[in-house]
Amino acid sequence: MIKAPFVKVEATRFTEVGYVGRDVEAIIRDLVENAVETVHDEQLLLVREKAEAAAAQRIVDYLCQQYPHGPISKANFRPQREPTPLRPPIPTGTSTAATGMASGPGLAQASEPARAEAVTSTPQARPMASSLSPGEQTRLRQRRRRVARWLAQNKLEEAAIEIEFPSENDSMESILEFGPDMTPEEMNESFQDFVARYQAQVHKRRRRVSVQEARRLLLQEESEKLIDYDEMVETATQRASELGVVFIDELDKIAGPRVEVGADVSGEGVQRDLLPIVDGTTVMTRYGPVSTDHILFIAAGSFYEVKPSDLIPELQGRFPLRVELGKLTQGDFVRILTEPQNALTRQYQALLSTEGVNLVFTPDALEEMARLASLMNERSEDIGARRLQTIMEKTLEDLSFNAAQYRGQTIMVDKAFVVNRLANLVQNEDLSRYIL
């Protein structure tokens, strides 16, 4: 709602530094990664229109280079017997004004004369255009306009073209390193590695795909070119440090009495590691230092066997606002069975529909299952809404395993249906303890 970076972690994933487990500073690093991904997605939306125009221009270049002869139509876009050597695509420049291309879906209908001039306006295109006669240049401009128009109308989606895009190693930085204690052989080996990395960076992969697939690949490449990564990282780190929210679950798992013998790798050690993070410190991430002074920390735990007061006093003071949650009531269980988009009732209906069975739940059946779930939570361990999963599974067990016998039928699950399958089980205290 407020576009704040958010991360949820479990305290049990972390143990005292030096033992198995993750460092607590990984919480902040995960938060920054979340912020970077969010800002990156936002930037992609902002540059999408320009990226679509640039990708469309490149596809027009590829089509006109690889199919230079004959009338252009969807039927005529087939591989030639002797393919024309692939020429580098005509660069589009950094702005739509430089190429004469209109942006957006209507790029083929707008600015056609200006776009036609793009063939001879860019420096890379002049040698190719200068080798053509005036009549050939006119036909080439007409051809480009026609291809661009059909491309905008999605008439060439199945045409096959060969495109170039960077190899997977393009993001790797080639750095030549020499140390004062390196032997000539080691220096030569380092130089050879540098050359190999550089060659891998400049290598372009070629791939033959449909225009529809090329549009997707080139759109992604052009979008990445238009994003200012320095600005993106700065915005993301600032948003993480000023608006970040961290939810630490299962805090009760690291609470307990002090261990006097040996190292406490799962309790007090984790609490002491969390102290500076929650209190406010600076954590180094791959994007630079991030302050935790203004990050909102929220912690939760069942505290079934321990109490919040079992936490070390310093950590208790870092969470001054406390809220006690009440137990789920029968009415809450009914809402859980009906309101969520992926409620259990909808899950079982979708599951049995694959077998051709139409499953219908009546309101009194939902009330009865909610009542039994609440009753079992009172009699034994209170496991909350998870009790509904067991109740639902036991109610529909026979129907699920024999669904093929009910293919094409509508099964009505009402109160009598639920009572018939669960009443005896609930009344038997010993069985209910182990089954429900």
By the 10 Å C-beta count (0-12 exposed, 13-18 middle, 19+ buried), 387 is classed as buried
In the prediction, which pLDDT does 434 show? Answer: 65
Helix 363-379 / helix 386-395 crossing angle, nearest 10 deg:
120
**Which of 305, 294, 306, 301 has the alpha carbon at shortest distance from 323?**
301
> Is the distance from CB of 59 to CB of 137 less than 8 angstroms?
no
Mean pLDDT, rounded, of the chain: 77
Coil vs helix vs strand at 27: helix
- Tokens standing for 243? 């608006």
> Is the distance from CB of 85 to CB of 53 less than 8 angstroms?
no
In the prediction, which pLDDT does 431 show? Answer: 67
Determine the Cα–Cα distance for residues 70 and 81; give it in Å rounded to an integer.
14
* Contacts for 38 with CB less than 8 Å, ≥ 6 apart: 3, 5, 236, 239
In the prediction, which pLDDT does 118 show? Answer: 34
Long-range contacts of 169-173 (CB under 8 A, 24+ apart): 169/197, 169/200, 169/201, 169/203, 170/201, 172/197, 172/200, 172/201
In the prediction, which pLDDT does 132 show? Answer: 66
> Is the distance from CB of 120 to CB of 137 less than 8 angstroms?
yes
In the prediction, which pLDDT does 161 show? Answer: 84
Q: Where are the alpha helices (DSSP H) in 228-362?
A: 229-243, 268-279, 313-318, 330-338, 344-353
Determine the Cα–Cα distance for residues 207 and 74; give it in Å rounded to an integer.
20
Domain 6-36+231-318, second-level architecture: 3-Layer(aba) Sandwich (3.40)
> Is the distance from CB of 328 to CB of 384 less than 8 angstroms?
yes
Residue type, 329: T
In the prediction, which pLDDT does 155 show? Answer: 82
* Fold designation for 330-435: Helicase, Ruva Protein; domain 3 (1.10.8)
Our measurement of the distance from residue 94's CA atom to the centroid of its chain's CA atoms, rounded to an integer in Å, reads: 29
Determine the Cα–Cα distance for residues 6 and 244; give it in Å rounded to an integer.
6
**Which of 341, 340, 303 has the alpha carbon at shortest distance from 324?**
303
> Is the distance from CB of 55 to CB of 220 less than 8 angstroms?
no
Report the run of H or E that residue 291 belongs to, with start and end: strand 288-291
In the prediction, which pLDDT does 31 show? Answer: 96
Q: Are strands 282-285 and 288-291 parallel, antiparallel or unpaired?
A: antiparallel
Core vs surface per residue 210-246: b (16+ CB within 10 A) or e: ebeebbeebbebbbbeebeeeebbebbbebbbebbbb
By the 10 Å C-beta count (0-12 exposed, 13-18 middle, 19+ buried), 84 is classed as exposed
- Tokens standing for 251? 């805090």
In the prediction, which pLDDT does 378 show? Answer: 86
Q: Which residues pair with 161 in a beta bridge?
A: 209
In the prediction, which pLDDT does 209 show? Answer: 83
CB atoms within 10 A of CB 41: 9
Coil vs helix vs strand at 243: helix
CB atoms within 10 A of CB 427: 9
Determine the Cα–Cα distance for residues 176 and 186; give it in Å rounded to an integer.
12
Determine the Cα–Cα distance for residues 249 and 234; give it in Å rounded to an integer.
29
Which residues of the chain, if any, have pLDDT below 70?
15-21, 68-132, 165-183, 191, 194-205, 256-266, 429-434, 436
φ and ψ at 17, to 5 degrees?
Answer: -60, 135
